Amino acid sequence: MAEKFINKKDFISNLPKIYGTYTGGFLIFIILMAIAEQAGMDAKTIGILFVAFTVAIYALIGWISRTVQVDAYYVAGRQVPTVFNGMATAADWMSGASFVAMAGGIYFGGYTYMAFLVGWTGGYVLVSSLMAPYLRKFGCYTVPDFIGTRYGGNGARFMAVVVLTLASFTYVTAQINATGTIASRALGIPFELGVWVGLVSILLCSMLGGMRAVTWTQVAQYIVLIIAYLIPVFWISNKNGFGFFPHLMLADEVARLNDLEATFGLVKNAAADIKAAGVPGGLKSISVPHSDVPAGGMAAWKFISLAICMMVGTASLPHILMRYFTTPSVKAARKSVAWSLFFIALLYTSAPMLATLSKISLLDPNLPTGLIGKPIAEIMQIEWVNAWINVKQAFIADFNGDGVLQLNEWFMRGDVVVLATPEVAGLPYVISGLVAAGGMAAAMSTADGLILAIANALSHDIYYKIVDPKADVRKRLLVARGLLIVIGAAGAYIASMRITSILGAVAWAFDFAMSGLFFPLVLGIWWKRATRAGAVAGMIAGLGSGTAYLIYVGPKFMAQTPWLGIDHLRFGIIGASVCLIVMVVVSLMTEEPDSATQKMVDEVRVPSGKTILGKAH
Amino acid sequence: MSNKERHWEKTKGLMMLTLAIWFVFSIVIFMFGESLNNGSFLGYPLAYYMCAQGSIVIFVVLIFWFANRQEKIDEEFGFAERGEDE
């Protein structure tokens, strides 16, 4: 019955009403929780209820969206309206790292870190102008499906799957890690168990309905995460009288931070001192200016090169590109990219504001929340400081032994900026519960998109296209679901071993994707002369050289001095350049693609007419 | 030149223009971050403002503009999709 209901045109036209009701219901839930808190419900129960309630709703949506049809499973039946696909892409895109770690990154890294903001938004211009509409016209189910059909042959298809798996898998462990952290904190269970709870929640959304289920849960998750991010930003700004609309009104605070930095002095602690004081790993003190641009050409190059890697990586990440396969038309795919970035921008433009608010709250001695310059004994009496020090998320090291807190003596983990700011600013606990639900939504939605991208590529491109082309629909979907569980479990297992730090891994995914996929995708559409041999050679050389360079400079590997400042976060610059050169040279050395392929490329370039690949292929 | 070729020429032109604007606001301006920060917008230092909000807002507007321009080009050459509403 649900199957029938969801396929009907009514369902699509009723979407605004359905999600409107859902948003209203969620707001009522927040109010009920606030009332319960006033009535004396304890913080822990509120946290559990927030996470449990939202996850239960996602699971329900996942169950209603179950399907036995191939095109519903792989591309949500190609009927997702532009605005809703925009929301789903935004949730797909904004990971646990964006939600939890980005404001913290800006808090510690200031202007330098904001290269990520430029990179993670600017990439969508490339997606819309170079990729999305053409891939939609092609009518593929997965990104390797395009590579395999455009260049022909199993070799190209296989290499594309390898790049996709490597990039997406690096990314997914970080997401499962984040769901584990949040689940363990909100439910009060050990991290190792939290990871598996997170995984079960993720699979509940995607198992039965594939892309269709993921689409409709991601829309629901976007609504939760954006509410959870914006309420604290506006609340803190208004409560402390910084400005009614923080995005336009925090200039004085940014200037004040500049003055405070000059007063306190930005000191970079020596590694030996940090070690001697016993500062827990991953905790940092502020040593970089908030809004000042660091001097010199090298600093500018580091900013630009990081932005380039993130932009080009964005345009090559399969779990994002595949979202645009779900729109009803080519025109809709283009518009949908614009809506995606609009919904992403709502959060990304708020992150610097949250970082500013959080920083000024802690630094300004004129504010009641300010810590710097106060006696350490007094600070240790503050409840939230104590709580975060106990779980090793914050630390005080009195280097000069004067009993007063200096700027370089206050250590904190970046995640705390988002997770603790409501508490620091004295907001009710219900807001902290809401933030936990938002972080969970962000991490779950990205993990779902990534696991689905890998499982779909393996089931469609490897199993169906290469291993067993005669498999029937039932068997194909069975394999797809089995792979979903296997990949999720592998990711959760690695996450539970705690071997990745969130951000390092996330940036690497972009570098892997740009090294192997960017030019094969772009040239496949924009350069008719690109040949199969060129594409295969480009993918192998790009991925190979990028990975080799990562091992050469990676701080946990050989840790050699980076060349021209291209460190382990930027290795995609090497990989993608090599990929481009090799692909062009080899293509020109081999024979021109046959006329059928050239005709196919011509067809991809016009929006009207049938897709290249049939509705069910 | 056939209809298809002229359509593709115009599409390529729009792509180049879009990417040129993108290049300016994602890369070129940040080459001059230091001097840019001497200026200000809404009271924020300009380079700080551009990466916190300015460039992001420009990208959003740019993609909407691009999508509309491309639709016009498709219609002009008769390649717009029919019967497929949003």
CATH number at residue A171: 1.20.1730.10
Residue A95 and residue A175 in contact, taking contact as beta carbons nearer than 8 Å: yes
Q: In Å, how far is A577's CA from the nearest CA of chain B?
A: 18
pLDDT the model gives residue B85: 45
Nearest CA in chain B to A343: B60
How far is it, in rounded angstroms, from Cα A236 to Cα A367? 13
Model confidence pLDDT, tens digit, residues A405-433:
888 888 888 877 888 788 777 788 888 88
Rounded to 5 degrees, φ, ψ at A285 are -115, 160
Compute the distance between CA of residue A96 and CA of residue A413 in angstroms, rounded to an integer: 15
Q: Is A44 on the interface with B (CB under 8 A)?
A: no
pLDDT band at A204 (very low <50, low <70, confident <90, very high): confident
H helix runs in A127-190, sequence order: 132-138, 143-151, 154-187
Residue of A184, A243, A197 lying closest to A59 (CA atoms): A197
Q: Give the pTM.
A: 0.92
Using only the alpha carbons of chain A, give its radius of gyration: 25
Subunit contact B80:A331, Cβ cutoff 8 A: yes
pLDDT digits (tens, 9 = 90+) for A320-335: 999 999 998 999 999 9
Helices (H) and strands (E) in chain A, counts: 31, 2
CB contacts under 8 A, A 288-307 vs B, are: 290-293, 295, 300, 303-304, 307
Contact present, A209 and A66 (Cβ < 8 Å): yes
pLDDT for the residue numbered A608: 83
A246 falls within a domain: yes
CB contact under 8 A, B30 and A329: no
Q: Is residue A400 part of a domain?
A: no
Tell me if chain B has a CB within 8 Å of the CB of A118: yes
The answer to whether the complex's ipTM is over 0.90 is yes
The region, left, alpha or beta by phi > 0 then psi within -120 to 50, assigned to residue A609 is left
Q: Return the structure tokens found at A160.
A: 């594309």
Pairwise CA distance, residues A184 & A192, whole Å: 8
- Domain coordinates in residue numbering, chain B: 3-76
Which of B1, B9, B44 should we substitute to test contact with A (largest number of A Cβ atoms within 10 Å)? B44
Optimal mutation site among A12, A252, A331, interface B, most CBs of chain B within 10 A: A331
Taking residue A429's Cβ as centre, other Cβ atoms within 10 Å add up to 18
- A323 lies in some domain: yes
pLDDT digits (tens, 9 = 90+) for A532-563: 999 999 999 999 999 999 888 877 777 778 88
pLDDT digits (tens, 9 = 90+) for A238-276: 888 888 888 888 888 888 888 888 888 788 888 888 888
Cα distances (Å, whole numbers) of residue A582 to A304, A394, A587, B57: 24, 48, 8, 36
**What is the model's pLDDT at position A352?**
93
pLDDT at B82 over 80: no
pLDDT for A615: 67
Mutation test of the interface with chain B: which of A293, A308, A347, choosing the one with the most B Cβ atoms within 10 A?
A293
Contacts of B43 in chain A (CB under 8 A): 251-252, 254-255
Of A122, A303, A353, the CB nearest to B33: A303
Residue A315 covered by a domain: yes
Model confidence over B32-55: pLDDT tens digits?
Answer: 888 888 888 888 899 999 999 999
pLDDT at residue number A500: 52
* Beta strands at A410-412 and B40-41: parallel, antiparallel or unpaired: unpaired
Is residue A479 one of the residues assigned to a domain?
A: yes
Using CA atoms, how far apart are residues A205 and A209, in angstroms rounded to an integer? 8
Site from B24, B26, B72 to mutate, A interface, most A CB atoms within 10 angstroms: B26
Write down the pLDDT at residue A3. 47
The answer to whether B51 contacts A117, with C-beta atoms less than 8 Å apart, is: yes
Q: Look up residue A285 and give its DSSP letter.
A: -
Q: Of all residues in chain A, what percent carry a pLDDT higher than 90?
A: 36
CA angle A241, A242, A248 (to 5 degrees): 135
* pLDDT exceeds 60 at position A456: yes
Measured in angstroms, the CA of A271 and the nearest CA of chain B are apart by 29
Say if CB B47 and CB A111 are below 8 A apart. Answer: yes
C-alpha distances in Å from residue A267, one per residue of A286, A299, A358, A587, A595:
8, 19, 20, 53, 65
Nearest residue in B to A291, CA atom = B48
Asked which of A138-147, A314-323, A408-417 is least confident by mean pLDDT, the reply is A408-417
What does the alpha-carbon distance between residue A350 and residue A353 come to, in Å, rounded to a whole number?
A: 5
Q: Is residue A443's pLDDT more than 90?
A: no
Q: Helix H segments across A65-153?
A: 70-75, 82-93, 96, 102-113, 115-126, 132-138, 143-151
Residue A132 sits at the chain B interface (C-beta within 8 Å): no
Packing angle between helix A572-589 and helix A532-553, nearest 10 degrees?
160
Average pLDDT over residues A385-391: 82
Residues of A in contact with B79 (CB under 8 A): 606-608
Nearest residue, CB atoms, B86 vs list A82, A119, A341: A82
Whole-angstrom CA distances from A255 to A109, A236, A266, A356, B36 are: 17, 18, 16, 10, 16
Contact across the interface for A254 and B45, Cβ inside 8 Å: yes
Instruction: Quote the mean pLDDT of chain A.
Output: 87
Provide the pLDDT for residue A79: 87
Nearest to B86 among A81, A115, A117 (CB): A81
From CA A84, how far away is CA A91, in angstroms rounded? 11
* Count of other CB atoms within 10 angstroms of residue A338: 23
Give the integer Cα–Cα distance in Å for A480 and A483. Answer: 5
Does A586 map to a domain? Answer: no
Chain centroid offset of residue A525 CA: 27
Amino acid A2: pLDDT: 46
Name the residue range of residue A329's domain: 2-365+426-507
> In angstroms, rounded to a whole number, what is the distance separating the alpha carbons of residues B58 and A342?
11
Nearest CA in chain B to A82: B86
Position A242 in a domain: yes
Say if A284 falls within a structural domain.
yes
The answer, yes or no, to whether residue A489 has pLDDT greater than 50, is yes
Q: Please give the tally of structural domains in chain A.
A: 1
Which amino acid makes up residue A371? L
Look up residue A427 and give its two tokens. Answer: 């907001």
User: What percent of chain A stands above pLDDT 70?
Assistant: 97
Q: Please report, for residues A212, A344, A461, A617, the alpha-carbon distance to residue A465 in angstroms, rounded to integers and kept in the order given.
A: 22, 35, 5, 10
- Amino acid type, A453: A
User: In which band, very low, low, confident or very high, does the pLDDT at A505 lie, cut at 50, 70 and 90?
Assistant: low
Report percent pLDDT > 90 for chain B.
62
Residue of B nearest to A312 (CA): B26
Q: Name every chain A residue with its beta carbon within 8 A of the beta carbon of B47.
A: 111, 293
